[in-house]
Amino acid sequence: MSRKIRFAGFLSIVLCPFILCAQQPAHDAGVQPDTADKKPAESLDKRAFGVLPNYRTADGNLPFQPITAKYKLTIALKDSFDGPLYVIGGIFAGIYQLENQNPSFGQGLKGYAHRYVTSFADQSIGNMMAEGVMPSLLHQDPRYFRRGSGTTKSRLGYALTRIFVCKNDKGNWTFNTSELLGNATGAAISNAYYPDTRTVHDNVEKLGIQLATDAMSQVLKEFWPDVKRKLKKRKKEQ
């Protein structure tokens, strides 16, 4: 089984609970239509589940307000070096260790440490390029503008396609050059520390995995408030 297939299975397992939990329409009689989220973008939850970093989410129902290049870089730094990301880097390193990717790294503690450092570098470099550097240079907005209403299917499609569509500094939707070029640059830089995976196929696969990870992140950001609201409602009922 290839790494792509395993990764796709991993994404499916992670996303399934969110999609199922959001099956109830946003305008159901028992749930207020997202009024809890109609607040300034900066006041949205900074952590999904109280753990996962959520600094890049904005309320898409509010009037667009551009952010400065400095703030774009600040978001990228927070998304790159937030505490839980060190844990995620360890998980990916463990997967790569089991699959013996980049055999020249070896096995054992030394091999795992090598894979951990390079895995974390993949995340941080990709985030800095796609969320900070490229958006600043190309005048695009790296934030995810949460929709918060509509059918589950439409919101899922919206979230997944935001890796290809973004807003520019004028608030207009445009092709997300920053996401693709930023992650492609990160994949190219990774050739410096991945001696065994420097082919075109390897780099395309790295880019695909990073884009899939970012797409999964958008889905989590879109549906997390729904999950949180339902958990609170269930807790009150109990």
DSSP state, residue 171:
S
Q: State the DSSP string of 28-76.
A: -TTS-SSGGG-S-GGGS-SEETTTEE-TTEEETTSPP----HHHHHHHH
The terminus-to-terminus CA distance of the chain in angstroms comes to 44
Model pLDDT for residues 173-190, shown as the tens digit of each residue: 999 999 999 999 999 999
Is 0.95 surpassed by the pTM of this model? no
Q: Look-up: residue for tokens 């600043």?
A: 136
Residue 174 one-letter amino acid:
T
The three-state secondary structure class of 148 is coil
More confident residue, 163 or 83: 163
Q: Residue 138 and residue 178: Cα distance in Å, rounded?
A: 7
pLDDT of residue 144: 96
Q: What is the DSSP letter of 163?
A: T
179, 166 contact by CB (below 8 A)? yes
Q: Exposure pattern of 155-173 as b/e (b: 16+ CB <10 Å)? A: bbebbbebbeebbbbeeee
> Exposed e or buried b for every residue in 113-139, given b needs 16+ CB within 10 A?
ebbbebbbbbbbbbbbbbbbbbbbebe
Q: Considering only residues 157 and 49, tell me which one the structure prediction assigns the higher pLDDT.
A: 157
Helix axes 3-21, 200-237, angle to 10 degrees: 20
pLDDT, one tens digit per residue, over 19-76 is 444 444 433 333 333 333 333 344 456 776 666 777 889 999 999 999 999 999 999 9
Half-sphere CA count of 194, side-chain side, radius 13 A: 23
